[in-house]
């Protein structure tokens, strides 16, 4: 197995050197200046697979949600990286089978930063263009990955961002301006059609016995108002009303966990003692399923990880994440279903939708609504395709339905972060898309 530790090289305004358990887990990391004054951080782990050269295995990009959630923190240390936050090895890490690239995205998230807050992105397409430039800079540092199959996996808002990223990467490949080889895009518990997701919170909670009729009515009234505002083009106000809908859920359920409805949560919410409801909800979204508070996660990344990576003290992990979320308030409730249709109708890129059945924020019923409305050449054949069981080690881990390059995976006993909650079920959709896992 040829896996030398590669010293950091960088094509950017500044560089960092260091490692986190690099003797056990070969890695590389650095910055790309995607626009003047806008710096994006990436962190690559080379695969541990028993191969002669790591480029024999695909490159997977992992994107966290929020917006403002950090892939290098949550995705890496709490979901699928090689080490957890206590630096214990994770036996189901994706690094065993793939090269995994964690990206702090959009710019301003995690260790990524802007020199002026006016440089933050305001739309999904702006995020995609920054990502395209990030990948161009990455391939300058690692040209050996050009032509290697590339897969983008996005969780929550990361799944929404991944769609426009897929479009922009594909266009650049067609134009010959990037050497990538995009084969697939995966949307994990993704914020694809926010209105659909929000309208299904009440029915899901009522069916699960977590609200009574009065609670359901209050939630649905708030959700329908968010829908009305969106339909009238009042996008900022729709986002504000969406937050009110979340508050109605908290009030009716006495603090249900939006990322796993079976999790027992404390009441009253201790984290709200010094936060208003907007800040609490923003913090929850930015954590994107992390079980650590924003303060604890920030301490871990700034006090433990940053020194190990020798990142400059002027870069404070997470300092601009709240501003990232705020800046995207107008775009927040907008769907990306037209982008999905474009990829299905105009490319051969595999699109995978997977969802944990215990998630509320991006509920499975809400995903089914927009999937059933997709307009693409295989829509009717997909709807008529057989829904099949997923068996792993003689255990039923979920179900899947597929036609041509679109597939949907229902994953059992999993919440918002499926790779962490159900690694066995995760292997099914990884194998389906990449043939590995």
Predicted local confidence at residue 273, as pLDDT: 40
Is 156 catalytic? The answer is: yes
Catalytic residue (one of 112, 416, 417, 432): 416
Predicted local confidence at residue 277, as pLDDT: 78
Average pLDDT over residues 36-52: 98
**Which band of pLDDT confidence, cut at 50, 70 and 90, is reported for residue 278?**
confident
Query: Tell me: the pLDDT tens digits for 370-425?
Result: 999 999 999 999 999 999 999 999 999 999 999 999 999 999 999 999 999 999 99
**Which band of pLDDT confidence, cut at 50, 70 and 90, is reported for residue 20?**
confident
Is 260 catalytic? The answer is: no
CA 132 to chain centre: 17
Share of the chain above pLDDT 90, in %: 86
Predicted local confidence at residue 279, as pLDDT: 86
Pairing of strands 27-35, 149-155: unpaired
Domains observed in the chain: 27-193+333-434 (3.40.50.1820), 198-287 (no CATH)
pLDDT at 430 exceeding the cut of 50: yes
Q: What's the chain look like in SS3?
A: CCCCCCCCCCCCCCCCCCCCCCCCCCEEEEEEEEECCEEEEEEEECCCCCCCCHHHCCEEEEECCCCCCCHHHHHHHHHHCCECCCCCECCCCHHHCCEEEEECCCCCCCCCEECCHHHCCCCHHHHHHHHHHHHHHHHHHCHHHCCCEEEEEEECHHHHHHHHHHHHHHHHHHHCCCCCEEEEEEEECCCCCHHHHHHCHHHHHHHCCCCCHHHHHHHHHHHHHHHHHHHCCCHHHHHHHHHHHHHHHHHHHCCCCCCCCCCCCCCCCHHHCCCCHHHHHHHHHHHCCCCCCHHHHHHHHHHHHHHHHCCCCCCCCCCCHHHHHHHCCCCCCCCCHHHHHHHHHHCCCEEEEEEECCCCCCCHHHHHHHHHHCCCCCHHHHHHCCCEEEEECCEEEEEEEEECCEEEEEECCCCCCHHHHCHHHHHHHHHHHHCCC
**Which band of pLDDT confidence, cut at 50, 70 and 90, is reported for residue 268?**
low
pLDDT at 271 exceeding the cut of 50: no
Catalytic residue (one of 156, 193, 238, 290): 156
Query: Tell me: the pLDDT tens digits for 112-133?
Result: 999 999 999 999 999 999 999 9
19-28, 163-172, 361-370: least confidently modelled range: 19-28
Query: Tell me: the pLDDT tens digits for 52-110?
Result: 999 999 999 999 999 999 999 999 999 999 999 999 999 999 999 999 999 999 999 99
pLDDT at 342 exceeding the cut of 60: yes
Predicted local confidence at residue 17, as pLDDT: 65
pLDDT at 7 exceeding the cut of 80: no
pLDDT at 327 exceeding the cut of 50: yes
Nearest of 367, 373, 363 to residue 219 by alpha carbon: 363
More confident residue, 9 or 173: 173
282-296, 348-362, 404-418: least confidently modelled range: 282-296
Is 71 catalytic? The answer is: no
**Which band of pLDDT confidence, cut at 50, 70 and 90, is reported for residue 147?**
very high
Predicted local confidence at residue 325, as pLDDT: 97
List CB contacts of 410: < 8 A, sequence separation 6 or more: 354, 355, 357, 364, 398, 399, 400
**If you average pLDDT over every residue of the chain, what do you get?**
93
**Which band of pLDDT confidence, cut at 50, 70 and 90, is reported for residue 269?**
low
Query: Tell me: the pLDDT tens digits for 387-402?
Result: 999 999 999 999 999 9
Catalytic residue (one of 130, 164, 359, 421): 359
pLDDT at 272 exceeding the cut of 50: no
pTM: 0.94
pLDDT at 431 exceeding the cut of 60: yes
pLDDT at 294 exceeding the cut of 80: no
Predicted local confidence at residue 290, as pLDDT: 85
User: Please, which residues bridge with residue 233 across strands?
Assistant: none
∠ CA 106-113-10, rounded to 5°: 95
Predicted local confidence at residue 118, as pLDDT: 98
User: Please, which residues bridge with residue 153 across strands?
Assistant: 62, 186
Tell the burial category of 185 from Cβ atoms under 10 Å away from its Cβ (0-12, 13-18, 19+).
buried
Query: Tell me: the pLDDT tens digits for 198-240?
Result: 999 999 999 999 999 999 999 999 999 999 999 999 999 999 9
pLDDT at 354 exceeding the cut of 80: yes
Angle between helix 157-175 and 337-346 (nearest 10): 40
């Amino acid at each position: 197995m040829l896996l030398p530790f590669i010293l950091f090289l960088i094509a950017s305004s500044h560089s960092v050197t260091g490692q986190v358990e690099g003797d056990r887990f070969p890695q590389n990391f650095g910055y790309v200046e995607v626009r003047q004054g806008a710096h994006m951080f990436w962190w690559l782990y080379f695969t541990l697979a028993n191969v002669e050269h790591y480029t024999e295995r695909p490159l997977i990009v992992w994107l966290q949600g929020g917006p403002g959630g950090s892939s290098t923190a949550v995705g890496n240390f709490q979901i699928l990286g090689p080490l957890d936050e206590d630096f214990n090895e994770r036996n189901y890490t994706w690094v065993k089978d793939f090269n995994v690239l964690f990206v702090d995205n959009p710019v301003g998230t995690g260790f990524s930063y802007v020199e002026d807050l006016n440089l933050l992105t305001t739309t999904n397409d702006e995020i995609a263009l920054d990502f395209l430039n990030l990948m161009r800079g990455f391939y300058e540092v690692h040209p050996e990955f050009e032509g290697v199959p590339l897969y983008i996996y996005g969780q929550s808002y990361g799944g929404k961002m991944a769609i426009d990223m897929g479009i922009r990467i594909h266009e650049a490949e067609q134009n010959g301006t990037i050497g990538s080889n995009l084969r697939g895009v995966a949307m994990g518990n993704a914020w694809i059609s926010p209105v659909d997701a929000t309208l299904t919170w009440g029915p899901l909670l009522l069916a699960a016995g977590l609200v009574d009729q009065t609670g359901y009515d209050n939630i649905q009234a708030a959700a329908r108002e968010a829908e009305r505002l969106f339909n009238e083009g009042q996008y900022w106000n729709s986002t504000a009303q969406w937050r009110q809908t979340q508050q109605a859920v908290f009030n009716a359920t006495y603090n249900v966990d939006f990322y796993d409805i079976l999790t027992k949560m404390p009441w009253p919410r201790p984290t709200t003692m010094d936060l208003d409801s907007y800040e609490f909800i923003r913090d929850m979204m930015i954590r994107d399923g992390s079980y650590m508070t924003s303060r604890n996660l920030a301490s871990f990344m700034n006090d433990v990880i940053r020194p190990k990576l020798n990142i400059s003290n002027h870069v404070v992990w997470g300092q601009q994440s709240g501003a990232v979320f705020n800046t995207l308030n107008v775009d927040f409730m907008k769907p990306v279903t037209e982008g999905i249709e474009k990829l299905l109708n105009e490319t051969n890129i595999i699109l995978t939708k997977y969802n944990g059945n215990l998630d509320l924020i991006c509920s499975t019923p809400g995903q089914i609504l927009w999937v059933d409305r997709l307009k693409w050449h295989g829509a009717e054949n997909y709807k008529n395709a057989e829904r099949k069981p997923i068996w792993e080690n003689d255990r039923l881990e979920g179900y899947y339905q597929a036609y041509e390059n679109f597939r949907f995976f229902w994953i059992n006993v999993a919440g918002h972060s499926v790779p962490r909650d159900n690694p066995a079920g995760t292997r099914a959709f990884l194998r389906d898309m990449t043939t590995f896992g």
